[in-house]
Structure formats: C-alpha cells, structure tokens
A and B are shown apart, each in its own frame.
Chain A
Amino acid sequence: MGSTRTTGAPTKITQGSQTKGGIGESTLRPDGTLKVTGEFAYSSDMWHEDMLWGQTLRSTVAHAEIVSIDTSEALAQAGVYAVLTYDDLPAEMKNYGLEIQDTPVLAHGKVRHHGEPVALVAADHPETARRAAAKIKIEYRELPLITDEASATASDAVLVHEGRDDHHIGHVPHPNIVHRQPIIRGDAAEAAKKADVVVKGEYTFGMQDQAFLGPESGLAVPAEDGGVDLYVATQWLHSDLGQIAPVLGLPEDKVRMTLSGVGGAFGGREDISMQIHACLLALRTGKPVKIVYNRFESFFGHVHRHPAKLYYEHGATKDGKLTHMKCKIVLDGGAYASASPAVVGNASSLSVGPYVIEDVDIEAIALYTNNPPCGAMRGFGAVQACFAYEAQMDKLAAKLGLDPVEFRQLNAMEQGTLLPTGQVVDSPAPVAEILRRVKARPLPPERQWESSEGADVRQLPGGLSNTTHGEGVVRGVGYAVGIKNVGFSEGFDDYSTAKVRMEVVGGEPVATVHTAMAEVGQGGVTVHAQIARTELGVTQVTIHPADTQVGSAGSSSASRQTYVTGGAVKNSCELVREKVLEIGRRKFGTYHPAWATAELLLEGGKVVTDGGEVLGDLVDVLAGESVEVEAEWRHRPTEPFDLRTGQGNGHVQYSFAAHRAVVEVDTELGLVKVIELAVAQDVGKALNPLSVLGQIQGGTTQGLGVAVMEEIIVDPKTAKVRNPSFTDYLIPTILDTPTIPVDVLELADEHAPYGLRGIGEAPTLSSTPAVLAAIRNATGLELNRTPVRPEHLTGT
C-alpha cells in the first residue's frame, strides 16, 4: 500500500521554551549518580539498629484444608521473637485485595494456591528466621484442584471461594468465574455471510513473570504513637495504605509510608506482598522488622501475567476487507482476584486490535482456579489478545494471497474509528503509518555471522554452545501491530496529586515537586523536574521523596504516570505560576505597564513578556516569600462497559506500536536467534526522548522474552510451580536481545498534557506476535502458543 494518511503534529510549547532542561530534552536522571555509585537506597537496603528479620512460611500444596498448625518448636528457637498465624491477626478485617478483598493476610483454615502465606516468623538473623519457619508443623487435608476452564465451570466443581458477595457475582455464569465481559456490536453472524474467507484459531499464552530484579522487601518501624512507619517498594503507596491500615486495625494516618528505591515493577508490585506481614511483626515485637524475599519466594510473592486460551474467528472479503470477528478469551486468574476484573475489561475491549471491524461478538472471562494468582503485568490483557489477533491477521493475509502488512493497512483503525465498545477514537491513530515505517526500514544483511575467518557462533542460534556454524539456519521476517489503552478505564476516578513549592534558596529560584508517584525506574522523577522547569522557568528543581504525606498519585501502571501525575505536576506548576505573577504584579506592577497588559511567561529565572521583554528576576519577585500549591488533577472521565453489550466510553487514550522481527532459526535443534526487532511508535510528545527509547526498547524485550523463553510452568496435576528461579525461568540476556531500532512519531493528542501519549506498554504487545510471525515465516509451522520452545519447532 503506497500511501497512508498521518494526521497531527507535535505540540508547540510557548511557556518555558527558552528555559534549559525542560520538556523535550533528554535530561538525565536525577537519581543517576546515586544509582551508579551504589548509594541509592532500595527497599532491600534499609537498615535499622536493633532490627529483626521477617520470614514467611508458605503452603507446600495448592488446595487444602489446614487441619492444624503447631508453632511451638519454632517459637522455642533461640533468636526467634515472634511467630504469627491467622489467629494473631489484630483486626476484624483479615483480607485485602485491589478490588475484591478476597486475599487472606495469612491463610484461614484453607490454602488456595501453592505458596500461599500461612505463618510469619521474626528473628534476629534471616537464617534463624528461615530455620524457625521450617520447624512450623502444618497438617493439610488436600482438596480437589481447579486448574482450567473445564474443571472450574463443571456443574459439580469445588468452589475456590465459597459465599462470594462481591459486585461481580451477580453477572457471572459460575462462582469460579471472577468476571465476564461480553461486547456485542453489529451482527457478527449476519456479517459472516459476506466473508469470502474465514479463519478460526485457538491460541495459548503462557504465564509470564514480571521478573523485576529488586526483590519484594521493606522495613517496618513501630512508632511511639502505636502506629508504624513503612519503607517499601511499591507501585502505588495509597492503594497499599488503604489495604494495610484496616488489617492492622489502625487509622490510615497511623500508617506512614515512604517509597524506598524500587528495583523494577512491571505490574508485579501493584498487589501487596510483604507490606502487611512486616507491619504485623513490627507491631507485635515492638522492633523494626525487615523482610527481603529471595528469588524463589519472589516467584510466589507476586501475581503473574494471566495465562490465556483465546478462540478467534475472523472473516474477510476477497479484496481484503475484514467482515466480522468472534472471540472468546479465557484468562486464568488463579486463586485470588487481584486485578482480574480490569484485565478482563481490557482483553475484551481491545480484542479486535487496531482494526476496523463493525460486526463483533466478544466474550472475555477470568477464572478462579488453584493456580498461582495472576494480575497486572505490562500490557494488562491487551498482550494476550494481540498475540492471537495478529496470528489471525497473518493467516487471513496468507489465505487471501495478500501481503501481511498491506492487509493490515487496508483494515487499520484511524482517528474517528469506532471501537467495538462504540467509543470514538478521538486522537491520532497512525496504525497504517507505523506499519509502513517498520516495513520501509532496510533489512539487516543476511548471514552476518559469516566472515573470512568462519562463523562467529556468538551471533548464531545456540550462541557459544557452538551448536551450528550456519547449517540448518533459516531466516524469517514477521510483523505485528497493537493497541493499548492508557490510564485506568471503565469509570475509575483516575486522579493524581502534586504539591509544588517555589522559593529562593541560596540566591536562586528553586522549585520543589512532591508527589506520591512511585518511581519504579521509568523516569517519572526526570520528567517531573523537566515539567517544573518548563512551567516555572527555573533551572533548579528538587524532587521530594514519594510518601503518603501528600495526596495519591495513582498507580505507576497502565502507562499512566507521565500523563496523569505529569499532568498534576503541570497543573500545580501553572497554579504556582499564577500566584508568582500575582506577587510580581503586587510588588512591581507600578514600574512597568506590561505587568498588567502583556501575557507573562517565566523563563530562565525571569518574568518576561510574550514579546521577550524582561520585567524582573524571580529572585526579586519571590524575595522573602514562598508559594506552594497542592492540587488534584484528573483526565477526562470514562464510563463502565455495559455488562451485557460492552458498550461505553470506557477508555481515556490509546497507544500504538508496530514491530518488525527478523529471526534466524536453527531448524534442526529448534533454536531461535532474534536478529533485529524494529519498532515504530506514536508517543504524542516525547517529554524525554532518551527515556522514551528506553521504555520502548525495554518493553520490546519483555515481549521478546515471552515469545521464546519466559514461562512459569505450573504442573497441571498438582498446580505447583515447577520453575521458581532464574535458573529455570529464563529472561532475555544481552546475548538473546537483538538490536532494537526505534522510530518515534509525535502526533499530539489534544486531550492530553503537552499532547503526550502513555508509552510504556504498547511495545510489549506487538513484539511477541512479530517474533512469532517471523518464526512461522522461517519454519512454515503454525505455532499457536507462546512461548515457543525448541520442541515446538522440531516436533520432538
């Protein structure tokens, strides 16, 4: 397809455009120096005089009644200060959860998944605590296992949660289904009659782990007022707070949380892990308690990406227009709800992908099973759908004899397209353009590993294992594109709060930005400083540590923080700017008429007119005064999806990325080497181009991981996790990761601050299906599951 239409352009900035270090520049991380010198204080680095170490004892079986717990031997160990079980919980509230409070702080009479917390130990050395925990005797009586859709929805199925009273139980067809969201638009059955070709597929998506490197950890310090100070790595301080305080039996103001250094998150820190446990032990012993999971425990300590079964049917006319789509997406939510309902909403509403299909019949469900609990991970429901619909697009193109990219472009969504929910896409949607860009990029040369000195095995499938010198190696190229929503959807009040202060320090105007945003590595602190420079015309910006002494910032997830907390920082800065100008008018208004008549800007530490005339120094305006504003900021409201038809303006914004993958496959051994993963993505406005590239390349690599290696293996007979370690759960190394060239588009979304688009998740969507498409292209195999393992390629 020769021409594609691209609408929109980057936002033009007036205020602050003359101030150094503002938005649009690749300023460097404010925490960079601390992070390269080893001084940055991560949650596992906390230390307190006289502190104890906490240890969790977790269930060794997936589904069982707890007949008895005997803690006497553990308590008798020298160095042990406390052993806690369900009976020691201090408040009436004994459960927590993001949306549904179905998760016991400690197991009560029953365990529902392998690795569920049953008891806690505090001791003076971590090894003492571990050994004491091993001496707690628990007698289990095992129960039948629910492990998949068939066992969950059988008429005589054991219920994972009896007596459900949450707000989804009224509309689910079975109590072992957490939430169900159908979306019906048009008439798929009627439209199917117009199809010249129909493609049906059944796809499987494996369970992926966030595998952030910094383990779950933190320090709880009991306070004299009966409360507790908690230093922890999380994605959303205030969400944690709302779950922690009730089970401790404390008012929220007695639980003071400060964000410690966060070693990555990717969704895995949206749920509570050790937070409540550390507080319970600290309050019980009266001593500071530190808990640090090791990697084995980390695999049990957080939720994973939902594994999924996806059943798709698409039709198209012979000239390549999509006629209809029917799908059913079954997400395994595991033993507790976590974020499952919202993941269902995303999976269903984005199940069509970035395409125009008017007649659809969609259903997504999440199951309660005895598998490990699943919840948020980068891409959040849209990832699984993208893997399936992109496989379908390739199958349709092949059946129609069309080029796979041209076929996608022919059906690509644009600004103005209606989603299956009836919502209009009201900002640029350059789907055809990003596909054109990845396709237009020159392909990497063939057989790069070959030279006059022979083959460089490091660049071949199998690498230094020296399994091939090029024999049996074939190349393949594949494409994919995806759509991700930005921000919390379905009517959620998705606000953020920023406190901004401006004052003179050391003869210079300085802005201080205080939010509760969790900096998890994404660079939010970098862009907050940039926004403050742009909006306040200053160079010096101090970023205050995130804590609960300021209002909620919402979650560092859903690609939302630059949009929402960035928007809150911008808004508070604007309010501060108005106040600063008021002070200026009061003090100096009589000296120059422009104070009253001109549009005034703050630039380079001065008040200037929009014509560039300097009216005064901020140092003089602010002399002896400081200006501070704390304000909440919201994006446009959204609506819930209708529970029967799925109709509703549920989303805030969309993010689009396209990938081209080039792979080489050793077809004899089934080994894959990804040679290049090219990306094109619309980011609306790159507030920090260097960080934008980092997000896109990082997201792409997580998508690569679940294409060829990453999967938590759960034994279907026991529902036990078989590979909870970095020895057995593989994530891409620098040798597995290819060159990732990135093409960034900046088409402003007029509804968003600076026209920006949330960017973190979209590259994780299309990366996986692009790699799969390239492997299919190389091998001719159908490959309906991800990750692809060698045996899937060799048939052995």
Chain B
Amino acid sequence: MRVNFTVNGRPQEADDVWEGESLLYVLRERMGLPGSKNACEQGECGSCTVRLDGVPVCSCLVAAGQVEGREVTTVEGLADYAKQRRSGEAAHPGGGCATGACGTSLQEAQQWRARGTDSQTGEGGELSPVQQAFIDAGAVQCGFCTPGLLIAADEMLERNPQPTDADIREALSGNLCRCTGYEKILDAVRLAAARQDRQEEAV
C-alpha cells in the first residue's frame, strides 16, 4: 500500500508498504530516518518515541497505515521543531531524505569520524535546548535511548516548563536507559528547563 504523511514538516510518500509494517519500520527503512530506535519493538522501552500529531507515541506500536494524512516529528526534526516553537511558527521544514528510502548509507557510515571537539564547540548545526542539555550534562552514553528520551523530555517541557523531579521521573518513566542510571538524564532535563527559563526572561 501507499502511505502519505508528513514527517518533520515535509510531505512524504511511502510506497510498497506491507500492511504489517510499523511506523518505526517505515521511518527507519523506507524514509531514511533511523534516528528513532528499535530497542524492543514491543512498546516497552520508549526508544522509538516520536510525536504523532503532537502526541508522544511508541512508533513501533503504530501501524504504518494509521499515520495516513498525519504529522510525525522524529528526533531528526526536533531541533527545527523546537526552533519554530520558540518563534511561534506552526509548521516546520527539514528532515527526511528527498529520495525516499536511504537509511544510513554505508558510505556515510564509513566516513564517520568523531572529531574530538564536535560536542564542545557546538559544531554540527543548531540543537534544541534539550539536545544540547543532554550533551552538556553527560546524559548520553551509548545513546540508544537518547532519541526517544529527547522527544519525551521536549514534549514534557512544552507542557510543563518548570517540572519537579517527580514530574520528570513520571514523564520519562516509559523510556528505558541501561547505561546512565538516569541521574545525568535528570540533570539534563533540569538544565534544559533552567536554560529555557533564562531565555524567556531575556525575551
């Protein structure tokens, strides 16, 4: 079947989708957006969390056909999404790959070079406050849970800009992390909230 939906502000069309495919599979394997992760594929770990018409969902539990005509935001579009939220715009461009199916090509994977100063200098484009805070607070280790946590944390901060620790824990309780013991993730969300406050005061 063919599925038409909007991903990170850009209309997309997925062809030859088998009815049993999940939104996660279509994003990762047909849209070239592998940022949403496949840790359990049964709705337990939250690593595949995306926003579907603004609501955080486990994309592994959403059948591809269910997203027909709807809007999806993934971690790849999070920076733009946050930027447009700040500037008050509704839609947002960017994200996805123009050709449809591309994944992480082997060439890209082979060319990957971790430069020693990437994260320090903020090279690599503009990040959303919650993305930057995850880096700064040491909330990223293996990073497999990170995309889902970022989507969930960003959505919570949108609803609740000044969360208590208990609020943060409740909002992120559907996202498993095996590396960090969550302390640095709490730090990151607190940091993002504090920076958001300061930005608003400055405005």
Contacts and interface: CB of A to CB of B under 8 A. Distances in A.
A693 B173 contact: no
B40 to A, nearest CB: 4
A203 to B, nearest CB: 25
A264 B172 contact: no
Contacts of B102: 47
Interface string A730-771: 011111010110000000000000000000000000000000
A693 B186 CA distance: 14
A310 interface: no
Nearest to B21: A127
A263 B168 CA distance: 24
A700 B76 CA distance: 32
A34 B124 contact: yes
B118 to A, nearest CB: 5
Contacts of B119: 28-33
B176 A731 contact: yes
A734 B127 contact: no
B115 A263 contact: no
A35 B180 contact: no
A379 to B, nearest CB: 15
A30 B117 contact: yes
B176 A295 contact: no
B185 interface: yes
Nearest to B125: A37
Contacts of A213: 37, 39, 45, 47, 142, 144-145, 176-178
B39 A214 contact: yes
Contacts of B144: 42, 212-214, 263-264
B116 A30 contact: yes
Interface string B129-171: 0011011101011111111001000000000000000101110
Contacts of B150: 36
Contact of A30 (B37, B114, B180, B186): B114
A735 B177 CA distance: 12
A382 interface: no
A430 B170 CA distance: 38
B140 A725 contact: no
A38 interface: yes
A438 to B, nearest CB: 16
Nearest to B186: A734
Counting chain A residues whose Cβ lies within 8 A of the other chain, the interface size class is 35 or more
Interface stretch (B64-72, B84-92, B103-111): B103-111
Contacts of A740: 181, 183
Interface stretch (A335-343, A456-464, A634-642): A456-464
A734 B169 contact: yes
B103 A540 contact: no
B44 interface: yes
Contacts of A525: 114
Contacts of B181: 694, 697-701, 737, 740
A215 B38 contact: yes
Given A42-B37, A263-B39, A543-B115, A734 B184 contact: no
| Residue of B103, B116, B143 with most partner-chain A CB within 10 A | B116
Given A125-B18, A533-B116, A701-B182, A691 B138 contact: yes
Contacts of A41: 34, 104, 108-109, 112
B199 interface: no
Contacts of B42: 294-295, 725-727
Contacts of A372: none
Interface in A459-506: 459, 464
Contacts of B28: 45
A45 B125 CA distance: 22
Contacts of B170: 458, 464, 735
A492 to B, nearest CB: 26
A215 B39 contact: yes
Given A34-B124, A697-B182, 4 more contacts: A38-B36, A541-B116, A725-B42, A733-B174
Interface of A: 21, 26-42, 44-48, 125, 127, 210-215, 219, 221, 231, 258, 260-266, 292, 294-295, 456, 458-459, 464, 520-523, 525, 529, 532-533, 539-545, 690-691, 693-694, 697-702, 725-727, 731-735, 737, 739-740
3 residue pairs, one from A and one from B, having the closest CB atoms: A38-B35, A47-B103, A521-B142
14 contacts: A32-B118, A47-B105, A48-B106, A127-B21, A213-B39, A213-B47, A213-B142, A258-B109, A262-B142, A545-B110, A701-B180, A702-B178, A735-B173, A740-B181
